[in-house]
Amino acid sequence: MRITGDHGGLAIQGRLDVRTAADARTRLHLAVDGGQGDLVLDLSALESWDATGLGVIMGTHRRAGRLGRRLVLRGVPAQLQRLLVATRLHRILAVEGTVPDPYGTTLPMVAPFL
């Protein structure tokens, strides 16, 4: 796993799973703690994840909210989009673009940021 970026935006490459969760959590929390406004998390290069990785994302979301920030997911892979819909987390997390629900309709998400 590799995380690049700063306090306003990060990109995760590789795996976000039980083996990488502690390092990812530390890096994401430092970014949340050190910035202001939205923190954009680009997941377009995320190859795989597990429940622990999803927990890291949710924990970062909660931490950002406590600090008056918002975690925004960008470039969410289709498989993770389906998981977010199935778990109804798409209603809690800010996701750029749209996410199809299991019935083929499109659910509105946050507007893309420029």
Name the pTM for this structure. 0.83
CATH classification code of 2-76: 3.30.750.24
CB count, 10 Å around CB of 71?
23
If you average pLDDT over every residue of the chain, what do you get? 87
pLDDT in tens, 78-94: 888 888 988 899 899 99
27 vs 4: CA distance, rounded Å: 9
Residue ranges covered by each domain of the chain: 2-76
For 92, the token pair is 């809690």
95: pLDDT strictly greater than 50: yes
Burial bucket for residue 5 (CB in 10 Å: 0-12, 13-18, 19+): middle
